[in-house]
């Protein structure tokens, strides 16, 4: 009997592996192996037809740190993350509160907020081109009406990154709203009633009751926003191409440029590894947080 149970257990384990195998194989091929291969290749110099690539240790990383473009791009991306993350989260929260309130035409409001989410980033960029075009664009038409001179929003270093940031916020706020909306719907209405009876004003209720209850959602959204601040770069291809003079260039765009425009894959690989390290830190931090929460429960 014991023997049979053991056999059965073994068979189940085998089934489990077999079922998971196809997905694990593909995942290894397109995520784990390339991550390791990228690291390996980042240790070699760039080969040309006359000089084959040779082992260079961490030289490529040294080159990156010595390159002023690296610092510009890294700073840009930090600003990009530092602005898009909190601002989209605040917009998302406000949108969710409104889309959850009893107001007329609520479903229209909800859809309006959500619509940018289902548009390709490339299309979003084209739509915004219409706003940013100097002189003819909507923004200049409006400011021009008040006598301001036309501005080349995408073409000058002072405003290019900001213009890119606005498009990202527009694109992702409605997406994050959905998660807050879901969380709000799980909060019992009695809570609001109770707070009101206790004499808590709206602001107090939001700050003392709603925000703490929404904390898990905020963490989830925050992690997503962090990943997005690396991932969302498609609009650069349309709006600025990272220019002028790298003023709006972000890391992933730069990786693409190094690898596929300048054919310098060793440096692109080194940059990729730095991004993976950063993402890895985010992953570890999130797992820690989630673990804490489950312990708490």
Q: Is residue 296 a contact point for other proteins (CB under 8 A)?
A: no
Among residues 225, 275, 276, the alpha carbon closest in space to that of 250 is found at 275
Tokens standing for 275?
């991004």
Window contacting other proteins (CB under 8 A); options: 44-52, 56-64, 75-83, 179-187: 179-187
Measured from the CB atom, is 83 or 131 closer to other proteins?
A: 131
- Of 79, 83, 87, 109, the one binding other proteins (CB under 8 A) is 109
Tokens standing for 125?
């960029």
Count interface residues toward other proteins (CB under 8 A): 96
We find the least distance from the C-beta atom of residue 68 to other proteins, in angstroms, to be: 22
Measured from the CB atom, is 13 or 211 closer to other proteins?
A: 13
For residue 50, CA distances in Å to 41, 63, 77 come to: 19, 21, 36
We find the least distance from the C-beta atom of residue 93 to other proteins, in angstroms, to be: 12
Among residues 275, 266, 274, 269, the alpha carbon closest in space to that of 55 is found at 266
- Of 60, 77, 163, 272, the one binding other proteins (CB under 8 A) is 272
Q: Is residue 191 a contact point for other proteins (CB under 8 A)?
A: no
Measured from the CB atom, is 66 or 103 closer to other proteins?
A: 103
Tokens standing for 184?
């709000």
CA distance 200 to 287: 35
Tokens standing for 246?
């790298």
Which residues ranging from 230 to 249 are in contact with other proteins (CB under 8 A)?
Answer: 230-231, 233-234, 237-238
Q: Is residue 73 a contact point for other proteins (CB under 8 A)?
A: no
Q: CB-hemisphere CA count at 13 Å for 8?
A: 5
Which residues ranging from 118 to 157 are in contact with other proteins (CB under 8 A)?
Answer: 118-124, 126-131, 133, 136, 138, 141
Question: DSSP state, 137?
Answer: S
We find the least distance from the C-beta atom of residue 108 to other proteins, in angstroms, to be: 7
Q: Is residue 30 a contact point for other proteins (CB under 8 A)?
A: yes
- Cα 10 to chain centroid distance, Å, stands at 42
We find the least distance from the C-beta atom of residue 281 to other proteins, in angstroms, to be: 9
Tokens standing for 177?
């709203």
Using DSSP, state whether 55 is helix, strand or coil. strand
- Residue 147 falls in which region: left (phi positive, over 0), alpha (psi -120 to 50) or beta: left
We find the least distance from the C-beta atom of residue 208 to other proteins, in angstroms, to be: 18
């Amino acid at each position: 009997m014991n023997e049979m149970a053991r056999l059965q257990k073994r068979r189940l384990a085998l089934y489990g592996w077999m079922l998971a195998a196809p997905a694990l194989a593909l995942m290894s091929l397109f995520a784990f192996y390339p991550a390791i291969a990228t690291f390996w290749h980042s240790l070699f110099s760039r080969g040309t037809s006359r000089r084959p690539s040779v082992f260079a240790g961490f030289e490529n990383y040294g080159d990156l740190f010595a390159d002023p473009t690296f610092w510009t791009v890294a700073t840009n991306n930090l600003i990009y993350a530092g602005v898009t993350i909190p601002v989209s989260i605040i917009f998302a929260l406000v949108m969710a509160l409104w889309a959850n309130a009893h107001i007329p035409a609520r479903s229209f409001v909800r859809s309006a907020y959500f619509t940018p989410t289902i548009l390709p980033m490339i299309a979003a960029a084209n739509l915004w081109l219409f706003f940013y075009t100097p002189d003819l664009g909507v923004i200049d038409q409006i400011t021009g009406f008040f006598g301001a001179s036309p501005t080349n929003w995408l073409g000058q270093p002072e405003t290019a990154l900001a213009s890119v940031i606005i498009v990202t916020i527009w694109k992702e706020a409605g997406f994050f709203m959905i998660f807050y909306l879901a969380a709000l719907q799980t909060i019992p209405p009695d809570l609001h009633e109770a707070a009101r009876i206790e004499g808590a004003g709206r602001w107090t209720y939001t700050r003392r009751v709603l925000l703490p209850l929404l904390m898990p959602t905020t963490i989830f959204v925050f992690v997503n926003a962090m990943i997005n601040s690396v991932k969302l770069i498609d609009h650069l291809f349309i709006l600025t191409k990272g220019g002028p003079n790298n003023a709006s260039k972000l890391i992933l765009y730069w990786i693409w440029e190094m690898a596929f425009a300048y054919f310098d894959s060793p440096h692109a690989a080194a940059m990729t590894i730095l991004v993976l390290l950063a993402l890895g830190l985010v992953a570890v931090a999130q797992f820690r947080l989630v673990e804490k929460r489950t312990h708490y429960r």
